[in-house]
Amino acid sequence: MKLAVVVGSTRNGRQTDKVAKWVVNTATKNDISAELVDLLDYEMPFFDEAISPRYNPDRKPHDKVQVWLEKIKDFDAYVFVTPEYNHSITAVLKNALDYLTNEFYRKPTAVVSHGTVGGARAATDLKEILSECQSVVIPKSAQLFNVGMTNAVDDDGNLSEELEANPYGPKSQLETMLKELVWYSNALSAAR
């Protein structure tokens, strides 16, 4: 399985990139080929296409958008790492998703969220959006609760010793979610 781990925030001082590195590190330790895909590297204009990508056979996306589409289409599965902003996902993540549809068709996606209440409201919103983008959203997810994010995961994507040692904490959630994602990826790949 070729996994994209998408960083869902681009703001200064973000913590989401560290959480995404933790997901990549954990996936790699579990024999999953994972790649960090940072929205900071894809400066796309606000979505303004006259017709939804799903219904536009003559679509001619902006050059910067085409780079994003080409990057994202080659993966077998996706993990979106999102903070919670005002009880939802970031504008930059929503914008990036508005450009996608066929790239996700019958491929599994999962959500890792962080923030107050573990980013649960953002995760709920994101799962609905991903479903409408034609992906298969798996039920398992992982959350990092507002535990002082600067100390929860270091710059290299290593979980704090305290959280690492918790048998019911985020490490266990993430490993369970990744196993489920592999299962869905294998099943959907065979069916496609």
Residue ranges per domain, the chain?
Answer: 2-191
- 92-101, 111-120, 146-155, 175-184: least confidently modelled range: 146-155
- pLDDT tens, residue by residue, 3-61: 999 999 999 999 999 999 999 999 999 999 999 999 999 999 999 999 999 999 999 99
Superfamily holding 2-191: Flavodoxin domain (3.40.50.360)
The pTM of this model reads 0.95
**Phi, then psi, of 49 in degrees rounded to 5:** -70, 140
Exposed / middle / buried, residue 14 (Cβ in 10 Å: 0-12, 13-18, 19+): middle
Tell me: pLDDT of 147 over 70: no
Alpha-helical (H) ranges within the chain are 16-29, 63-73, 91-98, 120-132, 149-152, 161-165, 170-191
111: CB partners within 8 A, 6+ apart: 79, 80, 81, 82, 123, 126, 127, 130, 137, 141, 142
